[in-house]
Structure 1
Amino acid sequence: MSTQSNNVPLGIALMVATTVVFSLQDGISRHLAGAYNPMMVVMIRYWFFAAFVMVIASRQAGGLKAAAATSQPLLQAFRGLLLAAEIVVAIYSFTLIGLVESHAAFACYPLIIAALSGPILGEKVGWRRWSAIAVGFVGVLIILQPGYGAFNPALVVPLVSAAMFAVYGLLTRYAGRKDRTATSFFWTGTVGAVFMTAVGVWFWEPMTPSDWAWMGLLCLTGALGHWLLIRCYEVAEASAVQPFAYLQLVFASTLGLVVFHETLRLNVVIGAGIIVAAGLFTLWRERRRAR
């Protein structure tokens, strides 16, 4: 049995590439969801994603049967449903408030994971991590500005998306106690595709040829992004590369500012900075505890 490599420089490079690709995916999703129902956009994206997952599974030992084998099918199915629904909510958020503010609020998901890791996974959350979570929550309040005339209720939408993604991440960890990564990946793609087809087919709209080209690019970036992420975690420890995932906030916000002409409010910059700093601290604490 071979030991997993830990090539941190290569892992960091792969994570940076992953954030670039996923940022492009978010930009394309924002464009398409501005013209078509997000349900249909996510449905077509999932068709390609499911095909990609099945090709990957068929090339591994045991093929599709081995990839699908699990002792916890209800948990795996719920994970797939939850991620598909989260993607719909996230894309809807892009159309409501744009990439900049959506990603600024969504950046709190690692803090939600840290807060819920106790009740869901039974992990011990010490006072330092609770302090970081509280500081991150202050960053969220700075972005939301509750009690002020500038408060935008639509900012709650990316927070819902962040909470859904955090629960998905925790359930993935929980499922990983019994199932292989390949199994969780297989169920994520296939169940999501079935669910989105059942829901999204009712929102079908004819697309222009140019938008079909964008849709094709969206599907390709989705597959490429997931492949890069898988390779990233294969070559390096997650704790070493995870902090660089925050670069997606930078890249996606740059797209929002340059391509979609969004505005950058000072409170969003300050709040996002606090959230990222608190998230990086929790990642550092987890890595230190693991050692």
Structure 2
Amino acid sequence: MFKGVLLGFMAFAAYALSDAFVKSLKGSLPAYEAVFFGATLGLFALPFIKTRGDRWREVLVAQRPGLYLVRAVAGAVGSIAAVIAFTALPMAEAFALIFLLPIFVTILSVVLLKEHVGWRRWSAVVAGFIGVLVVLRPGFRALGIGHLAAAICALAGAVSMIALRVAGPHEKRITLYSAGVIGPMLLTGVLMLADFHWPDMHEWLLLLGYGLLAALAAVLLMLATQKAPANHVAPTQYSQMLWAVFLGYVLFHDQLDWPMAVGIAIILGAGLFTLVREEQVTLWWKRARMIL
């Protein structure tokens, strides 16, 4: 159990470092181009994720092709939006909005899956949006494309998570992982055709850090869920916020004021509470344990 949770923390540290690398590009490459190279490098994780009995064709062939397509498109949209958000916003502020994902999952569970949501989870939803208002303070500070991109990233991630809930019991791990890599790679590859910029050496190094660290994180997360239940590993994702504050301050000289810190704390608290209630009420962790 301890090893699994520790691996979870290591995985999300790698994800945070990956985000720091893409932020360091500072928009020198189009977001879709950065996502293309990141997703391509993400293929390096496939040999480690493939288990005995898996077939390579299952990278592209799914039992539920419609849900595979949903995850592919959501992965592409979410990845592009994440790159834009990290480029335009301080890391902690971008993460604060992206961590609305569990809140959006709750809402989509009602709309799409017709799940019953009690007053406790609805309270967490309201609290999460109050936290967003505290962070953004509309009318008191300028809002830009980065804020919109972070919210779109969270919504796309929630759509992908809902698709995982439905597809998880029917698909193999390699298929579930591949949808989130192949989709962004193909869709952004098409977008690149119109206006391709060949990266210079410095940009290549940043892209390598972005893609390989994300691939490493995926492998670590898989190992984590092999050693500990997914519901114990999932909350470790919130350690990304600590990394975001630290990396933002050290590498990018980001500053957090008190209202933003309070808003972030509210969003994180609401998200963690939602994760706990999701496990207690829906038990979807057991149905989809293999997806992480």
Q: TM-score, normalised by structure 2?
A: 0.89
3-state SS in 1 of match to 2:170: coil
| Separation in structure 1 between the aligned mates of residue 39 and residue 196 of structure 2, nearest angstrom | 14
**Alignment counterpart, residue 202 of structure 2, candidates 207, 210, 231:** 210
Pairing 1:121-140 to 2, within 5 Å after superposition: 121-140=113-132
Pairing 1:32-111 to 2, within 5 Å after superposition: 32-53=25-46, 55-56=47-48, 60-111=52-103
Contact 2:58 2:174 in 1 (8 A): no
Superposed CA deviations along residues 22-49 of structure 1, whole A, max 9, x for unmatched, are 1110000011243211111111111122
**Letter of the aligned partner of 1:152 in structure 2?**
L
Contact 1:40 1:203 in 2 (8 A): no
**Alignment counterpart, residue 235 of structure 2, candidates 218, 243, 264:** 243
**Letter of the aligned partner of 2:164 in structure 1?**
T
| Separation in structure 1 between the aligned mates of residue 57 and residue 180 of structure 2, nearest angstrom | 15
**Letter of the aligned partner of 1:113 in structure 2?**
V
| Separation in structure 1 between the aligned mates of residue 89 and residue 57 of structure 2, nearest angstrom | 42
Superposed CA deviations along residues 26-80 of structure 1, whole A, max 9, x for unmatched, are 0000112432111111111111223533x34666414213454423212202211
| Separation in structure 1 between the aligned mates of residue 280 and residue 180 of structure 2, nearest angstrom | 30
Q: TM-score, normalised by structure 1?
A: 0.89
| Separation in structure 1 between the aligned mates of residue 85 and residue 54 of structure 2, nearest angstrom | 40
| Separation in structure 2 between the aligned mates of residue 26 and residue 110 of structure 1, nearest angstrom | 20
| Separation in structure 2 between the aligned mates of residue 20 and residue 203 of structure 1, nearest angstrom | 33
Superposed CA deviations along residues 159-205 of structure 1, whole A, max 9, x for unmatched, are 12111111111111111132223221123322332222111243321
Superposed CA deviations along residues 235-265 of structure 1, whole A, max 9, x for unmatched, are 2112122222101011022111110112212
| Separation in structure 2 between the aligned mates of residue 21 and residue 57 of structure 1, nearest angstrom | 17
**Letter of the aligned partner of 1:196 in structure 2?**
T
| Structure 1 position 195 matched with structure 2 position 220 | no
In the TM superposition, residue 10 of structure 1 has moved relative to its aligned partner by 1.4
In the superposition, relative to structure 1, how do residues 156 and 75 fare at CA in structure 2: closer, same or farther (>3 Å)? same
| Separation in structure 1 between the aligned mates of residue 100 and residue 54 of structure 2, nearest angstrom | 38
Q: Which moved more, 1:160-169 or 1:182-191?
A: 182-191
**Letter of the aligned partner of 1:25 in structure 2?**
S
The residue that corresponds to 2:18 in the other structure is 25
The residue that corresponds to 2:175 in the other structure is 183
| Structure 1 position 150 matched with structure 2 position 132 | no
In the superposition, relative to structure 1, how do residues 204 and 161 fare at CA in structure 2: closer, same or farther (>3 Å)? same
In the superposition, relative to structure 1, how do residues 198 and 56 fare at CA in structure 2: closer, same or farther (>3 Å)? farther
In the superposition, relative to structure 1, how do residues 74 and 288 fare at CA in structure 2: closer, same or farther (>3 Å)? closer
Superposed CA deviations along residues 6-27 of structure 1, whole A, max 9, x for unmatched, are x2x1121011101110111000
The residue that corresponds to 2:290 in the other structure is none
In the superposition, relative to structure 1, how do residues 36 and 69 fare at CA in structure 2: closer, same or farther (>3 Å)? closer
**Alignment counterpart, residue 152 of structure 2, candidates 160, 164, 186:** 160
The residue that corresponds to 1:277 in the other structure is 269
In the superposition, relative to structure 1, how do residues 161 and 187 fare at CA in structure 2: closer, same or farther (>3 Å)? closer
Contact 1:57 1:67 in 2 (8 A): no
| Separation in structure 1 between the aligned mates of residue 57 and residue 231 of structure 2, nearest angstrom | 31
In the TM superposition, residue 120 of structure 1 has moved relative to its aligned partner by 2.1
Contact 1:46 1:189 in 2 (8 A): yes
Q: Which moved more, 1:272-281 or 1:33-42?
A: 33-42
How many residue pairs end up in the alignment?
282
Contact 1:18 1:225 in 2 (8 A): yes
| Separation in structure 2 between the aligned mates of residue 62 and residue 232 of structure 1, nearest angstrom | 20
